[in-house]
Structure 1
Amino acid sequence: MTTSTSVGAARRTALPRPYLLWLAGAQAGLLGDAALSFALGWAASGYGGGAAGLVLTAVTVPRTVLVLLGGAVADRFGARRVMLVGDALMLAVTAGLALAVAGDRGAPLWLLVGAAGVTGAVDAFYLPASGSMPRRLVSADRLPRALALRQAGGQCAVLLGAPLGGLLVAGGGLAGVAAVDAASFGAVLLVLLRVRPGERPVLPAASAAAAGKAGLVREAWSGVRLALGDPLLRAALLLTGAAAGALLPVVSLLGPLLARAHGWAAGTAGLVTAGQAAGVLAVAAAVAWRGGLPRPGIGAAAGLCTASAGIVLLALSAGPAVAVAGGAVVGVGSGLFACHLGPLVLGGAPASHLSRVQALLTLVQSLALVLSTGLLGLLVDATGAAPPALLCALATGAAGLAALATPALRRA
């Protein structure tokens, strides 16, 4: 009785003010980034589909190639320092972009590609550092709620970013969006100057000299070895890859293709996406308010099984209402998975490797998503949209059942 009461009290305890302050700044930055991402894509689309794809690739490639190195840098020099440098650099880049395209001057393609490339390179260092911040600012018992609140905020930024970018492009063009994003980076910088996570020395004193001689590449590889050698982290990363490959493309890629196959309007496809986002937000808000399940591994597995049922509903839907309901179920499952697996990965990483484990998580997600999206696109061309969607449902459900059968996840 005493144990359950103490757990409930911990779940209702307010999150630390430094974390809430950092999270508010981080979400403002995410919203500005989402708006600029839309604006860059829109400007590039004026040069044709190939140019738009080139700009997107310019973001993805450096982020994927450099992310493990970025995690090693954050663990060696401190996450806060890396984020301060990253925000200052992006403030300069976005302000320069705003000045370069101010007035009636259009944005040349090389400038769009360059801005996208710098953004991807900075992301490679910034994302692992930012991903480790909840662990540095929040105690272990409140980590699930903290990550769920961050998940909800990130989902809101994604939902609002494109409409905001469209409004800003209509009102002030690419220069206006870049100026707003520069202001958001300035706000994040001010927040980071106030928030000090009180990081202990990132590397033990005895091993600092050895780490310096080893080099950042070897330090990055040590993060991979650590994750592969730890049963819980290894299982969580494999599950993350499976979910990224089978679950993430469903709404973003297969949802619109299913809508077109049924002859539905673009608005219907948008409603499916909105249903998925609403499901994620509902679960994230509930976990942020009440806390997650006592067994997060089982919660993550249940989320994948729930999402699998939603994908089946979406794939076999004969009308828009059923498709939107399927999207909402997919969102609920996605939210359950993310809100329970995130604390497992972040909480299971040693303090000396927080950013490197986050970097590996980002890399696994990116590679799985890139591979599966291309393969699913080819499969849709050969069979239509419904069979690939059902295949994703099967893979997602199988991943959930495999998680239940994995002792390290089931007992976590």
Structure 2
Amino acid sequence: MTTSAEPRLIGTEPPAVRRDRMVQAYVLAALVSTTGDTVFTIGLAWTAVHLLAPGTAGLVLGIEMLPQALCTLLGGVIADRFDTRRVMMAGQLSRVAVLGVATIAWQSGLHAASVLFVVAICFGTISGLSSPAASTLARQLVRSDDLVTVSGWSQTGSRLARLLGAPLGAVVIQWGFGVSMLVDGLTFLAVAMVLLLVVRTRFRLPRTTKESVGASLRSGWDYIRQTAVARVFLVGLAALNVFVTPVFSLGVALRVSQSHWGSGWLGASEATFAAAAIVGSVAGIRWQGDHLPRRAFLVLVLQGVGLASVGLPSRVALVAGMALVGLTAGVASVWLSGSFQRIIAPSHLGRVSSVSNLGDLLLTPATVFVFGLAAGRSSVLVATVCSGLAMSVLCAVFATNRQIRTLR
């Protein structure tokens, strides 16, 4: 099932990916958009905590995940049924419209929680419906052999955008939340223009236009149930966030706070992670070859060591641990995401991607909560060691799994 109905070439063969200006333009546009997203996220968080009570602010910052989770499976059906560029352009322009209306309301003096909630809920809905389509675009632009390289470019750009977007967002919010929304809206508009004027698909994916929505959902689940390698990949990709996110989002803050090191060490650890992840992504692009999934999971065994060391009461251990986590995450995510797009049947790529998104949306908040409970009842070190050990053991199991071991 993983090799049937391969994408069909439309027109001439694409150029070598390192000379492919169209793909490079899209990757650059995505980098700009992610920078805008980071500016918006910083502005939303700052505005929420200053305008609202802590509980309400937390709800505003987390509410986007609910409609995204509810809509992402339908988004997978849309991705496998409709033209990818049109779906993505509709998503980008919808975000522009939401931010445009919200900016006008905010600049008019409507500084209310309702504006923040509406924007977050609309963004979650749009993301759920359009993100699975975006995950299939690379499969339609480049040859299979170039998917890992393009994945590496995208992830390097995303991490660089977040690294640059955070300080930019801190500067932009000084002019008000309306300006943060305006900046983000302009970046979405830029991506829409690149999709409209520059991007042209070169490979046609099989489409499920004759199935009902319910039948298409069942077909997607049946594919995952009957295809062992797809199941292993979904669980493996979930592990990237399930064990890393709690340590990254909560464990580091707890270690810095309990050790009384000052907030600067929190920023330093996050910058270390981002820089190391960029280096790892570049290395993943440079060194490819055979058996990438198995090699990726072997690399992630080392990541468990980095996760565990974050909990040690040592500044050196914290920085070294975050560097190791970032480096291994950069390498492994490039290899796994590129391999994922090659291995999953093109006819089901959107639906399988949506299941992967849903797993992240449901599992990550739960594991952060469990991590917090473990750290509170024992210690930060115990919680990080448990996360790191679980990560290493699980990835070692994946690396020796027959389905993964035989993939070239």
* TM-score using structure 2 length: 0.91
Find the counterpart in structure 2 of residue 236 from structure 1.
Answer: 233
In the TM superposition, residue 55 of structure 1 has moved relative to its aligned partner by 1.1
* Correspondence for 1:304 among 297, 300, 307: 300
SS class of match (1:294)? coil
Q: Answer yes or no: is the 8 Å Cα contact 2:284–2:335 preserved in 1.
A: no
**2:336 is the counterpart of 1:341:** yes
Counterpart-to-counterpart distance in 1, 2:28 and 2:219: 33
Contiguous gaps of at least 5 residues in structure 2: 1-15
Q: How does 1:43-192 map to 2 (within 5 A)?
A: 43-45=47-49, 46-102=51-107, 105-170=109-174, 172-192=175-195
Superposed CA deviations along residues 101-132 of structure 1, whole A, max 9, x for unmatched, are 116x2521011000000000001022111111
Cα pair distance change 1:57/1:312, threshold 3 Å: closer
Find the counterpart in structure 1 of residue 318 from structure 2.
Answer: 323
Superposed CA deviations along residues 187-214 of structure 1, whole A, max 9, x for unmatched, are 11110012111452642xxx643x1xxx
Superposed CA deviations along residues 112-169 of structure 1, whole A, max 9, x for unmatched, are 0000000000010221111111111111111111101111111112222232222111
Counterpart-to-counterpart distance in 1, 2:126 and 2:402: 37
Q: Answer yes or no: is the 8 Å Cα contact 1:304–1:399 preserved in 2.
A: no
Structure 1 window deviating more from structure 2 (390-399 vs 265-274): it is: 265-274
- Deviating beyond 3 angstroms after TM superposition, the runs of 4 or more aligned structure 1 residues are none
The two structures, once aligned, show a CA RMSD in angstroms of: 1.8
Counterpart-to-counterpart distance in 2, 1:388 and 1:293: 36
The AA in structure 1 aligned to 2:382 is P
Superposed CA deviations along residues 321-374 of structure 1, whole A, max 9, x for unmatched, are 221011101111211221111122111122212211211111122222121011
Cα pair distance change 1:182/1:364, threshold 3 Å: same
Find the counterpart in structure 2 of residue 6 from structure 1.
Answer: none
Counterpart-to-counterpart distance in 2, 1:173 and 1:74: 36
Q: Which has the higher helix share?
A: 1
Cα pair distance change 1:276/1:189, threshold 3 Å: same
Structure 1 window deviating more from structure 2 (341-350 vs 108-117): it is: 341-350
Contiguous gaps of at least 5 residues in structure 1: 1-11
Cα pair distance change 1:15/1:229, threshold 3 Å: farther
The AA in structure 1 aligned to 2:69 is T
In the TM superposition, residue 13 of structure 1 has moved relative to its aligned partner by 5.5
**2:398 is the counterpart of 1:403:** yes
Cα pair distance change 1:33/1:221, threshold 3 Å: farther
Q: Answer yes or no: is the 8 Å Cα contact 1:306–1:332 preserved in 2.
A: no
Q: Answer yes or no: is the 8 Å Cα contact 1:144–1:291 preserved in 2.
A: no
How many residues are treated as equivalent by the alignment?
A: 391
Q: Answer yes or no: is the 8 Å Cα contact 1:303–1:335 preserved in 2.
A: no
SS class of match (1:315)? coil
Q: Answer yes or no: is the 8 Å Cα contact 1:244–1:365 preserved in 2.
A: yes
Find the counterpart in structure 1 of residue 196 from structure 2.
Answer: 193
* TM-score using structure 1 length: 0.90
Cα pair distance change 1:185/1:411, threshold 3 Å: same
Cα pair distance change 1:361/1:294, threshold 3 Å: same
SS class of match (2:18)? coil
Once the two structures are aligned, what percentage of the paired residues are identical? Answer: 27
Counterpart-to-counterpart distance in 2, 1:163 and 1:78: 36
Counterpart-to-counterpart distance in 2, 1:15 and 1:254: 42
Q: Answer yes or no: is the 8 Å Cα contact 1:237–1:361 preserved in 2.
A: yes
Counterpart-to-counterpart distance in 2, 1:267 and 1:224: 46
Counterpart-to-counterpart distance in 2, 1:272 and 1:71: 35
Q: Answer yes or no: is the 8 Å Cα contact 2:297–2:396 preserved in 1.
A: yes
